[in-house]
Amino acid sequence: MADYAQQQQYPNLNPYSGGANGQNTASFGSNASAGQQVEGTKNTMMSKAQSAMDSVQNHPAVQNIQNGPMADKARQETAQVQGEFSNLANSRQTPDTKTATGQPLTHYHSLFYTLLSWENPRATAISYAAIVLAIFASRYLPIVRYGLRLTWIVTGITAAAEIAGRMVFDQGFASKMRPKKYYTIPRETLESSLEDLEQLINFFVIEVQRIVFAENIYATVGAFASALTTYFLIKVTPAWGLALIFATVIYFVPLVYISNKELIDSHLENAGNIVSQQSQQVRDLASQHTSKAMEVGSQTINQYSNKAKEMMGQTKGKAVDQGIVSQETADQTEQSLRQAPSAPAMDPTHNPAGFQAQQGRAEPMAAQY
């Protein structure tokens, strides 16, 4: 106990106390020295902390991490990612290519072409990863429940703070934090957003029509194959699985084509040549069969015409022999039947009176009614 009593007595920092450890410390000098001692201790602790931070910052391991090859590589990758996203944003320009009807395309055509052509691989890979994560999040995370939970938590805290503040301080905390002016979306931002939305909607509308009317036969065939595959997959695959499959196909089919462009183009050219040859053969066969059919039809018509003439001659001879008609009348009838009707020299709808006069039976137009 004696040793404990002989230990250093700590000063009392309370300026209003009458004494500390049996001594009167109410004097101003003692309080000033105590404050200086506390300030010195604080500065000493801050300097020690700063020196410790400097020591850690200057440690070879930390310097190696910050300035080593891994850090340089990370900075380079970050700069490249930023540059690729900038290039992707700058590609939103209306292309010079037009549709088959002469209509201009939207700037989303150039944006999606740049995105799916893997001209900026990092940006394209990040967008694909973001879509996949969104699909899995919608599948495995109850996003709606989380949103409702966040809503009732925020509104509950706000209401409780407002009520407690009005009961205790006659002023609610939420109303005290209320801004002087609520935030509103500028008109320019809304107009640009609506214009961008219009371009996006028209992109899908134009592409659907180009596919339906076979402006690009390969795109039409691809849409047919996709629709047919989806028709059977939808029976056994959930919606999130179909979305994942379509996202993967949309992103990686162009990559496969770009990586094997020469091989795929050669096969497509060979397939086009084969189809062209088969189409030419089909046209030749159709022409041959049409010629044969016309020849057979002409022969059949001639045969029936000759038979009809023979029957007419036999009928005329019987009628003359039996005295039903005279020979002159029979000859005139046969001659009139053999003569083909001739087309009028002018259109009767343009000048009916003149046409009737030409035929030798002109009548007033009113007489016809």
Tell whether the model's pLDDT for residue 282 goes beyond 70: yes
Average pLDDT over residues 302-331: 70
Say which range, 167-171, 293-297, 324-328, has the weakest mean pLDDT. Answer: 324-328
Q: Give the model's pLDDT for residue 37.
A: 66
pTM: 0.60
242-281, pLDDT tens digit by residue?
Answer: 999 999 999 999 999 888 888 988 888 888 888 888 888 8
| pLDDT reading at 102 higher than 50 | yes
Q: How confident is the model at residue 180 (pLDDT cuts 50, 70, 90)?
A: confident
pLDDT at position 175 is 84
| Residue ranges of domains in the chain | 237-315
Q: What is the mean pLDDT of residues 296-304?
A: 82
Of the given ranges (21-25, 74-78, 120-124, 256-260), which has the lowest mean pLDDT?
A: 21-25
pLDDT band at 26 (very low <50, low <70, confident <90, very high): very low
Is the pLDDT at 1 greater than 60, yes or no?
no
**Alpha carbons 186 and 220: distance in angstroms, whole number:** 42
